[in-house]
Amino acid sequence: MKKKILSVLLAGAMTAGMLAGCGGSGSKGGEIKIWVADNVVDFTKEKAESFLASDDQYKGWTVTVEAVGEGDAAGNMITDVTAGADIYGFAQDQIARLVAAGALVEVEASNASKVESANAAGVVNAAKVGSKLYAYPMTADNGYFLYYDKSVISDPSTLEGIIADCEAAGKNFYMDFGGWYQTAFFFGTGCTLTYDTDDAGNFTACNMDYDSDKGLAALKAMVQLASSSSFQQGSSAGDAVNYAAIVDGTWDAGVIQETLGDNYACAKLPTFTVDGQTYQMSGFNGCKLLGVKPQESEDKLAVCDALADYLTSEEVQLARYNAVGWGPSNIAAQNSDAVKADPALSALAEQFAYTIPQGNYPGDYWSLAESLRDSVIGEYQGADDATLQAALKSFQDSCMSYAQ
């Protein structure tokens, strides 16, 4: 008997669900959902609304802006594309994953040529998967460099000097060893790690030589750095404790400036020395992108295209720089006086000369790199060369296996 009642209710609930599922659409206009990081929510909302109000053809469209950071946005989009935002910001390392999951639509042809000519070449490359442009570059400041305390660090050009100063002063030196930051060492000693992708976002080949003497030198440098009592793993200035130097990006410039006050200074990354040989730290340079998800309605797609294009235009990039300090990817905006005078952005620009434009990496690479990070800090302390070499071999084999 209870089963009978159960089925009745179940059927009822499902029918109701079906009815709720249909309906809507038809009339022109609707809601466009945007996901951006919390500190640009108000900025984005204001810009998007004024854009839609500026032209009659966008009448009937409204925007909602929700605070979903770049990391969460990509994850959510992959979990459920249909419930995700129409336009969302993400870091470029996610692009292949998003394309493979069907969460990005190609940039519209007329916009694409505009985007390609207006933005720095490396950035445009980062927004491509295979040969197709899949996203609008929003910033070109996704790189890291050194922030330091002038009163503690006398010479920011060598890692050994920085560490010695920090240890002497009882201060911390923060550097992240995750997949994005550890390349500062590996690329610094001359290693390579890139993946080839096809147009659908699948990884077809991995070019990598970590399992080599160069790789070993880099890994030894990391183990050595981690053994310092001043070393702290991390790159969130806002959560860092008692630091005199931190490897971080422009997005934390404000926090660090407030903490260090008058002693605030920026520089390119230092050199490091392993077995008597000195290398300049390298790393990735990358950008933040704005993507549009695939749409079933042509009208909506057109509005989304226009809106995304506007939100990454020179005008808005400059305004965003002024509001929250994000470094523009637009060439004209980069050349404006305000941007050029920024100490953090100049240090970043100096560091960019030593870095490699970040291509596409499979999601597994990032989690594998975290494993390497934790191993370097923990179990590899005091390990011999053979162990480290074996670790590099297994790291490389795994990375290779992510490409089919």
Comparison of 130 and 332: residue with beta carbon closer to other proteins = 130
Tell me the one-letter amino acid at 24. Answer: G
Strand partners, 139: 288, 328
Comparison of 49 and 379: residue with beta carbon closer to other proteins = 379
| CB 212, min distance to other proteins, A | 17
CB atoms within 10 A of CB 102: 14
For 382: left if phi > 0, alpha if psi spans -120 to 50, otherwise beta; the answer is left
CA 197, 200, 203 angle in degrees (round to 5)? 30
Which of 34, 257, 66 shows the shortest CA–CA distance to 138?
A: 34
| CB 198, min distance to other proteins, A | 13
Which of 319, 152, 325 shows the shortest CA–CA distance to 254?
A: 325
Tell me the one-letter amino acid at 48. Answer: A
| CB 321, min distance to other proteins, A | 18
Contact 136, 291 (CB under 8 A): yes
> How do strand 264-267 and strand 145-149 relate by DSSP bridges?
antiparallel
Q: What is the DSSP string of 233-270?
A: E---GGG--SEEEEEE-GGGHHHHHHHHGGGEEEE---
Comparison of 134 and 354: residue with beta carbon closer to other proteins = 134
| CB 6, min distance to other proteins, A | 4
| CB 351, min distance to other proteins, A | 20
Comparison of 8 and 53: residue with beta carbon closer to other proteins = 8
Comparison of 67 and 164: residue with beta carbon closer to other proteins = 67
| CB 20, min distance to other proteins, A | 5
Q: Can you say how many angstroms the Cα of residue 130 is from the centroid of all Cα atoms in its chain?
A: 19
Tell me the one-letter amino acid at 257. Answer: Q
| CB 221, min distance to other proteins, A | 17
Comparison of 212 and 280: residue with beta carbon closer to other proteins = 212
Comparison of 181 and 395: residue with beta carbon closer to other proteins = 395
Distance CA 195, CA 101 (A): 18
Comparison of 240 and 333: residue with beta carbon closer to other proteins = 240
Comparison of 149 and 334: residue with beta carbon closer to other proteins = 149
Which of 45, 70, 39 shows the shortest CA–CA distance to 291?
A: 70
Comparison of 66 and 209: residue with beta carbon closer to other proteins = 66
Residue written as tokens 């491509």? 128
Which of 139, 204, 250 shows the shortest CA–CA distance to 360?
A: 204
| CB 319, min distance to other proteins, A | 20
| CB 45, min distance to other proteins, A | 12
Distance CA 83, CA 351 (A): 39
Q: Can you say how many angstroms the Cα of residue 192 is from the centroid of all Cα atoms in its chain?
A: 19
φ, ψ (nearest 5 deg) of residue 360: -100, 135
Distance CA 244, CA 230 (A): 10
List CB contacts of 18: < 8 A, sequence separation 6 or more. Answer: none
| CB 340, min distance to other proteins, A | 26
